[in-house]
């Protein structure tokens, strides 16, 4: 490696994984539209396989061939930062859709948020537990990081094991939540936004947990040392990123998005406008407004009971 | 050259945090601080939040009455699985299909199976 460039080995994986990633959305659309699942399964399988082989190659370059000199380490860090930046943009889009639809709720959904007929999850029940579990895993992964830098092998192994368990516990809790929601992904804009954002977050947690499991076995096999543990650093950055995304999801979707009883002048204005349009006498429209009015009555009742 | 300066700043920051933690490691204490924060502060707090979530907060509310709102239960085309009307995470008690709740699902409230 006596040249000033970040060049390690010729690799077939970037090109091949482009094909397999492209076949995933095509396969998904094909599955939804013509019930043929084979291309989707092929895409998922080849993507997983190529990710495995690519990571294996990077581990070999780093641990067994010693190609990861200072310059390559610098390049890898920049690469990870840019990758996480692209992930920020990815989630930014879902938050944009969510706030676009929730800050000025349209007439079709009852001009309120959450929409008429949507009963949200309780933010201070399991979602709060999820928040605390992820924050705790952020503490434990920092404990691992410090242990690695101090060369404390045993402490690092313990901390990493606990972090992985917390990640898996989060996924378990989310599965429990998903199977008890009173709405589904096809329940209009609320269901779409909720399941798109939290579902992608959940898959990111699954990927982050996989990354941590890989790090666990690399740590076990002494792949990391005090000043060279880029693989772990990447997993930790990714894990913190996933954690931060959850905080935004929790505050905006679970918590703020469930303020059913925080009625403001805005809501009354929207409803009085709707009663004006009600005179059009569209039966579906009438039904949704009736539901809306009933809900507002119920909300005021709840608010009244809470103040007692 | 602006991009290069930007990257250098970012890398210097990461290097600085690297160096400062390496400095701590001379004393060999910083991982213990974080481990103690985990066990002494973090775990009890999560335990309390767990207790709140499963023992203090109300569990398994009654399901709302089915109203065929036009903006809910949208089925532009059937789902590619099952009968095409049940979602992937279908809960027999809480989730209605486009036609309403499944028949005989009134008694499936998970709250009833706890005792």
ipTM for this model: 0.77
pLDDT of residue A203: 96
- Judge whether residue B115 has pLDDT over 50: no
Q: Examine residue A272 and state whether it is found in any structural domain, yes or no.
A: no
Taking every pair of Cα atoms in chain B, the longest distance, rounded to a whole number of angstroms, is 70
- Judge whether residue A108 has pLDDT over 60: yes
* Residue B65 pLDDT class (50, 70, 90 cuts): confident
Instruction: Assess whether A156 and A52 both reside in one domain.
Output: no
Average pLDDT of the segment spanning A193-209: 96
Instruction: Assess whether A53 and A83 both reside in one domain.
Output: no
Q: Number of A to B CB contacts under 8 A, please give it.
A: 149
* Residue B27 pLDDT class (50, 70, 90 cuts): low
Q: Do A159 and B53 touch (CB under 8 A)?
A: no
Q: Do A74 and B11 touch (CB under 8 A)?
A: yes
Per-residue CA distances from A64 to A79, A97, A226 (Å): 22, 46, 17
Instruction: Assess whether A182 and A109 both reside in one domain.
Output: yes
pLDDT of residue A95: 96
Which of A67, A84, A106 terminates a domain? The answer is: A67
Q: Examine residue A284 and state whether it is found in any structural domain, yes or no.
A: no
Q: Do B91 and A181 touch (CB under 8 A)?
A: yes
- Judge whether residue A299 has pLDDT over 70: no
Is the peptide bond between A294 and the residue preceding it cis, with omega within 30 degrees of 0?
A: no
Q: Examine residue A176 and state whether it is found in any structural domain, yes or no.
A: yes
- Judge whether residue A262 has pLDDT over 60: no
Among B11, B35, B53, the residue with its CB nearest the CB of A126 is: B53
Highest average pLDDT, of A100-109, A256-265, A273-282, B11-20, comes from: A100-109
B88 to chain A: which residues are within 8 Å by CB? 185
Q: Do B74 and A162 touch (CB under 8 A)?
A: no
pLDDT of residue A209: 96
Q: Do A129 and B25 touch (CB under 8 A)?
A: no
Instruction: Assess whether A222 and A156 both reside in one domain.
Output: yes
Instruction: Assess whether A56 and A94 both reside in one domain.
Output: no
- Judge whether residue A145 has pLDDT over 60: yes
The rounded mean pLDDT for chain B is 78
Instruction: Assess whether A98 and A173 both reside in one domain.
Output: yes
Q: Do B34 and A142 touch (CB under 8 A)?
A: yes
Query: Domain span at residue A37?
Result: 1-67
Number of domains making up chain A = 2
Which CATH number fits the domain that encloses residue A33?
1.10.287.70
3-state secondary structure of B109: coil
Work out the minimum CA distance from B69 to partner chain A, whole angstroms: 6
Average pLDDT of the segment spanning A276-291: 49
Please give the residue of chain B at the shortest CA–CA distance from A118. Answer: B72
With helix as H, strand as E and coil as C, how does chain A read?
A: CCCCCCCCCCCCHHHHHHHHHHHHHHHHHHHHHHCCCHHHHHHHHHHHHHHHHHHHHHHHHHHHCCCCCHHHHHHHHHHHHHHHHHHHHHHHHHHHHHHHHHHCCCHHHCCCCCCCCCCCCCCCCHHHHHHHHHHHHHHHHHHHHHHHHHCCHHHHHHHHHHHHHHHHHHHHHHHHHHCCCCCCCCCHHHHHHHHHHHHHHHHHHHHHHHHHHHHHHHHHCCCCECCECHHHHHHHHHHHHHHHHHHHHHHHHHHHHHCCCCCCHHHHHHHHHHHHHHCCCCHHHHHHHHHHHHHHHHHHHHHHHHHC
Q: Examine residue A289 and state whether it is found in any structural domain, yes or no.
A: no
Which of A263, A280, A297 terminates a domain? The answer is: A263
A189 to chain B: which residues are within 8 Å by CB? 71
Instruction: Assess whether A115 and A244 both reside in one domain.
Output: yes
**Which of A29, A70, A142 best probes binding to B when mutated, by most B CB atoms within 10 angstroms?**
A142
Among residues A87, A85, A20, which one has the least CA distance to residue A54? A20
Q: Examine residue A286 and state whether it is found in any structural domain, yes or no.
A: no
Instruction: Assess whether A145 and A85 both reside in one domain.
Output: yes
Which CATH number fits the domain that encloses residue A224?
1.20.120.80
Which residues contact residue A199 at a Cβ distance below 8 angstroms, ignoring those fewer than 6 apart? A185
Instruction: Assess whether A183 and A233 both reside in one domain.
Output: yes
* Residue A307 pLDDT class (50, 70, 90 cuts): low
Instruction: Assess whether A243 and A99 both reside in one domain.
Output: yes
Q: Examine residue A292 and state whether it is found in any structural domain, yes or no.
A: no
Q: Examine residue A144 and state whether it is found in any structural domain, yes or no.
A: yes
Instruction: Assess whether A49 and A8 both reside in one domain.
Output: yes
Instruction: Assess whether A155 and A231 both reside in one domain.
Output: yes
pLDDT of residue B1: 45
pLDDT in tens, B37-55: 999 999 999 999 999 888 8
Q: Do A187 and B72 touch (CB under 8 A)?
A: yes
Share of chain B above pLDDT 70, in %: 73
Average pLDDT of the segment spanning B2-8: 54
pLDDT in tens, A27-81: 999 999 988 999 999 999 999 999 999 999 999 989 998 888 888 899 999 999 9
A185 to chain B: which residues are within 8 Å by CB? 87-88
Which of A39, A67, A95 terminates a domain? The answer is: A67
Q: Examine residue A255 and state whether it is found in any structural domain, yes or no.
A: yes
Average pLDDT of the segment spanning A230-247: 96
* Residue A264 pLDDT class (50, 70, 90 cuts): very low
Per-residue CA distances from A283 to A187, A279, B10 (Å): 20, 10, 59
The rounded mean pLDDT for chain A is 86
B51 to chain A: which residues are within 8 Å by CB? none
């Amino acid at each position: 490696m006596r040249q000033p460039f970040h060049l390690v080995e010729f690799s077939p994986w970037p090109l091949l994984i482009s094909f397999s990633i492209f076949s995933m959305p095509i396969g998904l659309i094909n599955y939804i539209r013509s019930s043929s699942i084979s291309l989707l399964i092929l895409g998922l399988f080849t993507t997983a396989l190529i990710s495995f082989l690519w990571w294996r190659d990077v581990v070999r370059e780093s641990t067994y061939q010693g190609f990861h000199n200072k310059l390559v380490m610098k390049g890898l860090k920049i690469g990870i930062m840019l990758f996480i930046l692209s992930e920020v943009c990815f989630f930014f889009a879902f938050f944009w859709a969510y706030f676009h639809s929730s800050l000025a709720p349209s007439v079709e959904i009852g001009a309120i948020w959450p929409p008429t007929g949507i009963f949200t999850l309780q933010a201070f029940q399991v979602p709060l537990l999820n928040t605390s579990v992820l924050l705790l895993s952020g503490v434990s992964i920092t404990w691992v990081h410090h242990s690695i830098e101090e060369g404390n092998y045993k402490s690092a192994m313990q901390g990493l094991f606990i972090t992985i368990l917390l990640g898996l516990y989060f996924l378990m809790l989310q599965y429990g939540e998903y199977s008890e929601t009173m709405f589904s992904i096809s329940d209009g804009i609320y269901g779409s936004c909720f399941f798109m954002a939290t579902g992608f977050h959940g898959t990111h947690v699954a990927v982050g947990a996989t990354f941590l499991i890989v790090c666990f076995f690399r740590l076990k096999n002494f792949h990391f040392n005090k000043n060279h543990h880029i693989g772990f650093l990447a997993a930790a950055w990714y894990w913190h990123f996933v954690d931060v995304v959850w905080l935004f999801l929790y505050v905006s979707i679970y918590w703020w998005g469930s303020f059913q009883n925080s009625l403001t002048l805005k809501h009354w204005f929207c409803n009085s406008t709707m009663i004006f349009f009600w005179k059009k006498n569209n039966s579906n429209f009438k039904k949704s407004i009736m539901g809306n009015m009933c809900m507002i009555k119920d909300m005021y009742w709840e608010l009244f009971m809470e103040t007692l | 050259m602006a991009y290069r300066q930007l990257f250098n700043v970012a890398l210097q920051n990461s290097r600085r945090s690297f160096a400062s933690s390496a400095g701590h490691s001379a004393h060999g204490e910083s991982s213990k601080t974080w481990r103690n924060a985990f066990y002494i502060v973090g775990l009890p707090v999560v335990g309390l939040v767990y207790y709140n979530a499963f023992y203090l907060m109300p569990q398994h509310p009654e399901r709302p009455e089915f109203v065929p709102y036009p903006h809910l239960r949208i089925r532009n085309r059937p789902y590619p699985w099952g009968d095409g009307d049940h979602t992937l995470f279908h809960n027999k008690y809480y989730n209605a299909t486009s036609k309403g709740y499944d028949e005989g699902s009134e008694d499936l409230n998970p709250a009833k199976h706890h005792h």
